[in-house]
Amino acid sequence: MYIAIAVFFIILCVIHFKISSKCARYEAICNGIPGPKLLPIICNFFELSFNPEGIYSRFPELIKKYGRVFRIWLGPSLHLVYLSKPEEIEIILGSTKYIHKAEMYEYFEPWLGSGLLIANGPVWFKKRKLMTSAFHFSNLNNFIPKFNTNIKLLLKKLEEPAGGESFNVYDFLTLCTLDIIVESAMNTKIYAQSEKNNRFLKAMDEAELAILKRGFSPWLHSDGFFSKSSIGKMFYESVRLMHDLADSIIKMRKMELSDKKEESSFENKNTDSILQDRYKKNITFLDMLLKYNEDGAGFSDVDLRSDVMMFIMAGHGTTTWCLSWAMYLLSKNPNIQEKMYEEVISVLGPEDRDIEINDLLELKFTERVIKETLRHYPSVPFYGRTVHENVKLPGGYVIPANTDVGILTYCLHMDPEIYENPKEFNPDNFLPEVCAARHPYAYIPFSAGPRNCIGQKFAMLQLKSILSSIIKKFRILPASDAPAPCPVTVLLFKSDTGVHIRLEKRN
Ligand code: HEM
């Protein structure tokens, strides 16, 4: 017994010695980056691990205490430096050298495989180059009809709570955006808006929560522990459900395409022109990938699945939460809402009609409302890179090689040195002349530089389509007798209590 205790004590001392000397080496290179005091063995992981969902409110406290660059030792081997100053963020995001995603992104791998969002090195480079053309503005026009059909259903669904009590608008928006993104990705309808308790949506929510919990719980970092834990089991089950759906759709789509080809060669027509026609008329993200394969891209079925999953994952929650927060902010700011309504009516007219891409380009004030919403509630409140060499920051600090760097978008957007009254909802923050006077890295909801959000134009068109359609039909009023939003960061900037508002039909 005494021997066991002694051995245990010696092991703890060795671990402590190893960690301390590693920390000391890092600290020497850092040139004094401040941060919380290191505790034996556990380092700083209590700083963030107790309540991962509440991290967004913890970061401003840490900035207040240690400054706009600070470091944390999350566990014995995970050293993080957080940045929230435009000049320093630019050094990382603006460079083609620092495009390797942070360690935590590896936890997405069973779900998103080698999808663009988490890919690194040559795989990322090849995919990014190919997919840039898929997200080109000229292709995006093809998605507008998918927006229109699903928005019509959303407006119909919203008639039910309109004129009545407060309700959680997130519940409606999340189903509409899921229908849009799945249809845009794979040309398949999952009828999220028509079906109660959609399993795909539940699976996505569970997988995201599991990844966040794993990231900030060092004991779940090992694959072995994670897969045996209850949260790990929930994660793998959710991923399996989503993969099964994607696999069956990819199989079906490939068969459809090969049938088309046979048909066309039988009729002795030019296959390429038929496919071109088809792509132009009813293009989806999966179709674009299959087209790249025809041109020799060499994506396997697993690659195709990964990228389709990535498209859905990256494009669903981000747009849903942005819309929910926009409606909340508009409910609290009736003057801004009326100004937006006037613009919408002047561009779309009073009659019921489908939105076209040119309408969306004209909705300039609406765009400023959306940008200001993303300043207050950036859908992705923080994201990270790993640097593989020492990086000197303009202020003199040095980020040591092999460190994860966290970009704190939310803190940056609320910095009073950048935005005069950061808490005020003021779309004029995005007037062209105001933007021109600001540091280009002072507003980065879509990230920036070579690894910025490839879907941002798609997202903006979708957000404008949905928000302008709602405003045209309904007046948004603040909630009464309903819980106020309770912001949490579960990878995305969400509200634990939902986003409650009231709606009133316009005449
Ligand atoms: C309000 C909506 C959106 C916001 C705020 C947003 C934000 C972001 C941010 C901050 C990143 C960088 C993440 C990181 O570095 O880890 C990112 C990357 C990405 N986003 Fe978005 N996004 C939005 C919508 C979309 C949509 C609709 C799609 C797809 C249709 C999409 C696809 C992607 C992809 C593929 C990447 C990875 C790009 C790469 O690594 O090369 N996003 N997004």
Ligand 1 centre to CA of 379 (Å) is 10
Closest C-alpha to ligand 1, atom 26: 315
| Phi, psi (rounded to 5 degrees) for 72 | -140, 140
Q: Which residues are annotated as part of the binding site for heme?
A: 453
Atom number, ligand 1, closest to the C-alpha of residue 407: 15
Ligand 1 centre to CA of 99 (Å) is 14
State the Cα–Cα distance between residues 339 and 345, nearest whole angstrom. 10
Provide the 10 A C-beta neighbour count for residue 228.
11
State the Cα–Cα distance between residues 460 and 371, nearest whole angstrom. 9
pLDDT in the model for residue 271:
46
Pocket of ligand 1 (CB under 6 A): 116-117, 128, 310-311, 314-315, 318-319, 322, 374, 379-380, 383, 445-447, 451, 453-455, 458-459
Candidate from 137, 142, 453, 465 with most ligand 1 atoms within 8 A of CB, to mutate: 453
Atom number, ligand 1, closest to the C-alpha of residue 447: 10
State the Cα–Cα distance between residues 505 and 507, nearest whole angstrom. 6
Ligand 1 centre to CA of 135 (Å) is 12
Q: In the chain, count H helices and then E strands.
A: 21, 11
pLDDT in the model for residue 12:
64
Contacts of 228 (CB under 8 A, 6+ apart): none
**Residue 340 and residue 475 in contact, taking contact as beta carbons nearer than 8 Å:** no
Question: At 3, which amino acid appears?
Answer: I
Partnered with residue 267 across adjacent β-strands are: none
pLDDT in the model for residue 260:
66
State the Cα–Cα distance between residues 386 and 92, nearest whole angstrom. 10
pLDDT in the model for residue 281:
54
* Pairing between β-strand 487-490 and β-strand 382-387 as defined by DSSP bridges: unpaired
Q: Which residues are annotated as part of the binding site?
A: 453
pLDDT digits (tens, 9 = 90+) for 446-471: 999 999 999 999 999 999 999 999 99
pLDDT in tens, the chain (507 residues): 677 777 777 766 666 666 666 677 777 777 788 888 876 666 676 666 556 566 777 888 889 999 999 888 776 555 778 899 999 999 999 999 999 998 778 899 999 988 898 899 988 998 898 888 778 888 888 899 999 999 999 999 999 999 999 999 999 999 999 999 988 888 788 888 988 778 888 898 899 889 888 877 878 888 999 999 999 999 999 999 999 988 888 888 888 777 766 555 545 445 445 445 544 555 688 888 888 888 887 888 888 899 888 888 899 999 999 999 999 999 999 999 999 999 999 999 999 999 999 999 999 999 999 999 999 999 999 899 999 999 999 988 999 898 899 999 999 999 999 999 999 999 999 999 999 999 999 999 999 999 999 999 999 999 999 999 999 999 999 999 889 999 887 778 999 899 999 999 997
- Picking from 344, 321, 316, the residue whose alpha carbon sits closest to that of residue 150 is 316
Contacts of 285 (CB under 8 A, 6+ apart): 134, 184, 185, 186, 307, 308, 311
Crossing angle, helix 170-186 and helix 230-266, to 10 degrees?
40
**Residue 50 and residue 415 in contact, taking contact as beta carbons nearer than 8 Å:** no
* Pairing between β-strand 492-495 and β-strand 487-490 as defined by DSSP bridges: antiparallel
- Picking from 191, 98, 174, 105, the residue whose alpha carbon sits closest to that of residue 388 is 98
Partnered with residue 384 across adjacent β-strands are: 406
pLDDT digits (tens, 9 = 90+) for 367-391: 999 999 999 999 999 899 999 999 9
State the Cα–Cα distance between residues 507 and 389, nearest whole angstrom. 61
**Residue 413 and residue 378 in contact, taking contact as beta carbons nearer than 8 Å:** yes
